């Protein structure tokens, strides 16, 4: 059943685990109702939604495969049906698979573009249509916001993760175009973290060493990124720009991706 609450509602993609989960929890703690999107990690999504609900009182989880255009187009209407309205989208879900200039091919690029570029654009499009309908129905002051998770790598390029980097570069460009096309009803802001979380390719002491490689002596933490996403959603004067949250790592030169250094 749709929620009758007038609290702000945000869809966070890729929110079942890792950085998306931290963003969802931070927004819930700030009073947002959170729609937790996941692709395969349903139990993690259930756990995240339950944790969010303990803060905000309301949360729900929604599965969708971002390689499927129909599933992407159906996602926001499903969230609207459940909550009654949606005010923001945080595009955190991301495909991150390795290729380089020698192994690059159409298939890898297409997979990354579908998940990392096309899905966020379609969700921004859907949010704008939803906000437009609400304004037409008499909610004159209604506005929406989209935050796209990018990567400091775009300002400090190396040849690793070639298709991933191209897809994020396309999303950064799309953010500029969308901020113009969807104004004044929807703002679009990028948030670009630096090295933030450990992974199967980078952990332990090596992670700590690389995390410290920045002018500030530390890169971003998940809490830093989540706080910046919340700021971007709630500051109504920001659109068409990217906030780099990386301790200044984008100012340094790295010949390889962190995971391959």
CATH number of the domain encompassing residue 18:
3.40.50.720
152 DSSP 8-state letter = G
Is 255 part of any domain? no
84 DSSP 8-state letter = S
Residue 256, C-beta contacts closer than 8 angstroms, at least 6 positions apart: 158, 160
Report how far residue 127's alpha carbon sits from residue 9's, in angstroms, rounded to the nearest whole number: 12
How big is the CA angle at 224 (ends 211 and 254), to the nearest 5 degrees?
30
Longest CA span, the chain:
56
Residue 144 — φ and ψ, nearest 5°?
A: -125, 170
Domain count of the chain? Answer: 1
Q: Cα-atom radius of gyration of the chain, to the nearest Å? A: 18
Report how far residue 194's alpha carbon sits from residue 191's, in angstroms, rounded to the nearest whole number: 10
Is 84 part of any domain? yes
pLDDT (0 to 100) of residue 1 = 29
**Confidence (pTM):** 0.95
What strands, in cross-sheet order, belong to the sheet with 33-38? 59-63, 33-38, 9-12, 88-91, 144-149, 186-193, 241-245
Is 260 part of any domain? no
Ranges of beta strands (E only) in the chain are 9-12, 33-38, 59-63, 88-91, 144-149, 186-193, 241-245
**CB-based contact 143:236 (threshold 8 Å):** yes
Is 130 part of any domain? yes
202 DSSP 8-state letter = B
Query: What is the span of the domain harbouring residue 47?
Result: 9-249
Is 104 part of any domain? yes
pLDDT (0 to 100) of residue 6 = 66
Is 148 part of any domain? yes
| pLDDT tens digit sequence for 48-90 | 999 999 998 899 999 999 999 999 999 999 999 999 999 999 9
| 31-to-19, 28, 114, 227 alpha-carbon distances in Å | 19, 5, 31, 13
Is 14 part of any domain? yes
Measured in residues, the chain has a length of 261
Preceding peptide of 136 cis, ω within 30°: no
Q: Which residues of the chain, if any, have pLDDT below 50?
A: 1-5
> Could you tell me which of 163, 146, 10, 24 has the C-alpha nearest to residue 94?
163
Is 261 part of any domain? no
pLDDT (0 to 100) of residue 139 = 96
């Amino acid at each position: 059943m749709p929620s009758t609450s007038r609290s702000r509602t945000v869809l966070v993609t890729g929110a079942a685990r890792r950085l998306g989960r931290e963003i969802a929890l931070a927004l819930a703690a700030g009073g947002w109702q959170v729609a937790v999107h996941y692709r395969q990690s349903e139990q993690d999504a259930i756990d995240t939604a339950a944790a969010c609900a303990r803060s905000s009182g309301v949360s729900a989880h929604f599965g969708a495969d971002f390689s499927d255009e129909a599933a992407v187009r159906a996602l926001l209407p499903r969230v609207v049906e459940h909550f009654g309205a949606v005010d923001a989208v945080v595009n955190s879900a991301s495909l991150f698979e390795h290729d380089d200039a020698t192994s690059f091919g159409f298939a890898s690029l297409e997979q990354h573009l579908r998940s990392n570029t096309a899905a966020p654009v379609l969700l921004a499009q859907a949010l704008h249509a939803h906000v437009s309908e609400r304004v037409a129905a008499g909610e004159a002051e209604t506005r929406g916001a989209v935050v796209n998770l990018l990567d400091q790598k775009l300002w400090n390029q190396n040849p690793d993760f070639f298709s991933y980097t191209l897809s994020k570069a396309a999303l950064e460009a799309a953010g500029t175009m969308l901020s113009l096309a969807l104004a004044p009803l929807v703002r679009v802001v990028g948030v670009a973290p630096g090295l933030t979380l450990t992974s199967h390719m980078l952990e332990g002491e090596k992670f700590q060493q690389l995390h410290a490689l920045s002018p500030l002596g530390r890169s971003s933490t998940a809490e830093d990124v989540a706080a910046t996403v919340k700021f971007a959603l709630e500051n109504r004067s920001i659109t068409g720009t990217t906030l780099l949250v990386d301790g200044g790592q984008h100012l340094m030169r790295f010949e390889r991706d962190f995971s391959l250094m």
